[in-house]
Amino acid sequence: MPEKKAKSVKTKPKKTYYYRIFFDDNESKNYMKSKLTHKQVERYLKSYEKTHEKFINKEFVDYLKKYDRTAELIEISDISY
């Protein structure tokens, strides 16, 4: 009997979204990138706010890494020369 070859399933790579985080209690202006949609980030933000008194961008991105391993904080700093 001839062997059947498995069909290769092509999956689309997930989009990467970039978000401006402006709600840090330390007044830091940062961006983050994630594969999560805006709706998902909002849902996890509400969950995060229930368990944390202060909102700190780095801690929130670390929290998001439970749901998206690729989540990353992009820090903005001034350049002078």
Kindly report the pTM of this predicted structure: 0.70
| C-alpha R_g of the chain | 18
Residue partners of 24: CB distance under 8 A and separation at least 6: 30, 55, 56, 57
Which two structure tokens, joined as six digits, stand for 53? 């008194």
Across the range 13-23, mean pLDDT stands at 82
In tens, the pLDDT along 26-68 reads 667 788 999 999 999 999 989 998 988 888 888 889 999 999 9
Which two structure tokens, joined as six digits, stand for 63? 């929290």
- Residue 8: pLDDT band with limits 50, 70, 90: low
